[in-house]
A and B are shown apart, each in its own frame.
Chain A
Amino acid sequence: MPVPTTGHTTESLTTWLAERIALYLKRQPDGIAPDVPLAEYGLDSVAALSLCGDIEDDFDLVVEPTVAWDYPTVQALAGHLMDELAAAAAKGGGA
């Protein structure tokens, strides 16, 4: 189901995540496969924590500092963020 209040889609989140993670790793975004664990690309725990801050800043969404550990691929993270954004929108909209 689309989330009109945020305008985010799984595709847009996947693109955002791949681009952001590529910056951390100094790689090209198209080199980050959505289903490969980020740790296999060498994303360290420090960068994983930084990613949480980025999510907070860009989406105004507070996530657990361990989110990139529990959702270890771009695909898993994008799915989780969609759920969280939908939940936040539902709460914010007072539905």
Chain B
Amino acid sequence: MLIGTEPQDAHPATGAVQDGDGSPGQEGRAVARVAELDRRLGDPTDESNELSYGRLVEADEAGELPEAGERALDELGLGADFVPRAEGGGLERLDTLVRVMRQVFRRDVALGLGYGVTSFMAAVNVWAAGDAAQRERLARILTGGGKVSVAYHELAHGNDFVRNEFEARPAEGGGYLLNGAKQVINNADRADAWVLFSRTSPAPGSRSHSVHFVEREGLDTDTWRVLPRYDAVGVRGCHLSGLRFDNTPVPASALVGEAGKGVETALRAFQITRAALPGMAVGTVDTALRTVVRFALGRRLYRKSVMDIPHARATLSGAFTDLLTCDSLSLAATRSVHLLPEQTSVLAAATKYLVPKLLTDAMRELSVVLGARFYVRDGEYGIFQKHIRDLPVLSLGHAGSAACQATIIPQLSRLARRSWFSDEPAPAELFRPRADLPDIPYDRLTLASGRDGLSATLVAAVDGLPGATPEERAVQGLALQLVDELRRIQEASRALAPEDRTALAAPGTFALADRYAVLLAAASAIGVRQQAARDGGDAFLADPAWLAAALHRLARRLGRRPAELPASVDARVHEEVLRRFHARGSYDLYDTPLTG
């Protein structure tokens, strides 16, 4: 077998569906929660459902979040999913949160962001650096159905938020005075609290900012106001507005973590959100793929169904393959937060950089098959044009693509010298979609480490014996090419001039970060297939066919011209696209049963 050099370990194949005492374990709770959301939100293709795709598109046209959707999520108590179990909520595994949110994102990106993700992005700052009283207050707000906003950025400074001017000046007699404006904040108008990133010292540099957790209740109402709402091209239902403060006093107890450590707190919190957010939108592209499969099976052209046209068929297989790749990287990144927190900074940045890109490209390719229908705003295909407008928002927000590359760039030469081709492969647990995880060790997330076990998984994969089947041999040939690519990236990274290791690096350095992210995606997919084959779990994931298809697409993305795959690969992937369409199984690593 190709990928089998790593010794077997004693861990169970999958997570405990039940704890020792017979109560549901982590995986049991995850499966139940995902099913609960799906059931409550209902079949989106059923026009009589108040949360049908048709109704969701109507709400978008009106520029509002679907009222029925917000009510449903209130009743489901979704806010508790952002609160660690230790604080009385339901958050125990980051990969589970991604699965849960996928149920919302497959129906409506705006609802996912507007109801939930904003609160989660705010909350992680407090879970990572807040004191017990702040964590308790926040937990009470979120489990009680309230919302919290997060305000890092100011439009003038973009992702260069160290230059922010919004000020929290230490007040005489304790506490702070807030001064200035924050723009484009989701839910600024209706949140119960805001997590604000403010300048607390006029000195230049990265020790002059702090994070504050400010509750709306009790603020001097004469000194602050909500700024007018923004209009957006996508996620039109989201309440994007701003906040303006004018000498608004807040108590000293609002300070999260140490004064002056705001940049560090934010960068650690980003690792969690960068790892988790992109994978949620796998649900969005799942819907897009499902919509196009339905179209391709039903429409007849040239006396054949669209599905019989080779280009259309290949596009659908390609989109499904990319979803599996995205989910593999998302899985590795989210589980890395728990298992390899010291290595997460690069991996989370790569995920936030690459997954939205792969998803957006897949959507565009799917739109070609849909033809003119992808422009239609209502009816059966209306959800496609809404999703294609909403999806790009994922690349923006708290970490633009370039900002994520900028996290990777200063670490490249260090990884090249210290880690690649010498580090230990990542632990098997990183790639097991249903396995238990320990709590998130917030205090171990660090800004850079010079370690990278994930690329070592790729390197270790080519050490095995040649594969027995054509598919396995294809995988091995592709893995060899990707290892060669890592070698090239290593050489280029070692040779980087100092001025190319800054935020103003030459475009070639940004390209290097891009290529490295593609390799991390490949390594994740290899790890997932390796563990599935070893665990005797999901038969499709254990089959080398999807992995061969995934690596082939990634190699081509890198400009390589790999040999043609055996015909059996496309046949297997195509068969699975159809099987999951008819059986209503999700297009990701979980094959989750869906209502529609």
Contacts and interface: CB of A to CB of B under 8 A. Distances in A.
Nearest to B497: A23
B263 interface: yes
B413 interface: yes
B499 A24 contact: yes
B57 interface: no
Interface in A25-76: 25-26, 37-40, 43-50, 52-54, 56-57, 65-66, 69-70, 72
Contacts of B263: 45, 69
Nearest to B204: A39
A23 B447 contact: no
Interface size class of B (residues with CB under 8 A): 20 to 34
Nearest to B203: A37
A20 interface: yes
Given A37-B203, A37-B204, A53-B413, A66 B498 contact: no
B343 to A, nearest CB: 13
A39 B447 contact: no
A69 to B, nearest CB: 4
Contacts of B498: 20, 23-24, 47, 50, 54
Interface in B290-335: none
B501 interface: yes
A57 B450 CA distance: 11
Interface in B400-444: 406-407, 409-411, 413-414, 417-418
Name the residue in B406, B446, B498 with the highest tally of chain A Cβ atoms < 10 Å from its Cβ. Answer: B498
Interface in B252-267: 263-264
A52 B502 contact: no
Contacts of A26: 499
B446 A65 contact: yes
B207 A69 contact: yes
B448 A49 contact: yes
B409 A37 contact: no
Interface residues of A, number: 27
A66 B160 CA distance: 17
Nearest to B267: A45
Contacts of A70: 207
B510 to A, nearest CB: 11
Contacts of A25: 499
A44 B414 contact: no
Given A50-B501, A66-B206, A45 B162 contact: yes
Contact of B205 (A39, A47, A54): A39
B502 A24 contact: yes
A38 B162 CA distance: 14
A56 B448 CA distance: 12
B503 interface: yes
A44 B503 contact: yes
Given A37-B205, A45-B263, A57 B499 contact: no
B448 A46 contact: no
B448 A52 contact: yes
Contact of A53 (B207, B450, B497, B505): B450
Contacts of B504: 44
B499 A23 contact: yes
A84 B535 CA distance: 47
Contacts of B204: 37, 39-40
B559 to A, nearest CB: 26
B406 A46 contact: yes
A66 B209 CA distance: 14
A39 B410 contact: no
A56 B450 contact: yes
Name the residue in A47, A50, A66 with the highest tally of chain B Cβ atoms < 10 Å from its Cβ. Answer: A50
A49 B418 CA distance: 16
B207 A47 contact: no
Given A39-B204, A65-B448, A72-B205, A47 B413 contact: no
Contacts of B414: 53, 56-57
Nearest to B447: A65
Given A39-B205, A53-B414, 14 more contacts: A24-B498, A25-B499, A26-B499, A39-B162, A44-B503, A46-B410, A46-B502, A47-B502, A52-B448, A53-B411, A53-B450, A57-B417, A69-B207, A69-B263
Q: Which 9 A-B pairs have the closest CB atoms?
A: A39-B204, A23-B498, A39-B205, A50-B501, A53-B414, A49-B410, A47-B502, A65-B447, A50-B410
7 contacts: A20-B498, A26-B499, A44-B160, A46-B501, A47-B498, A49-B411, A50-B410
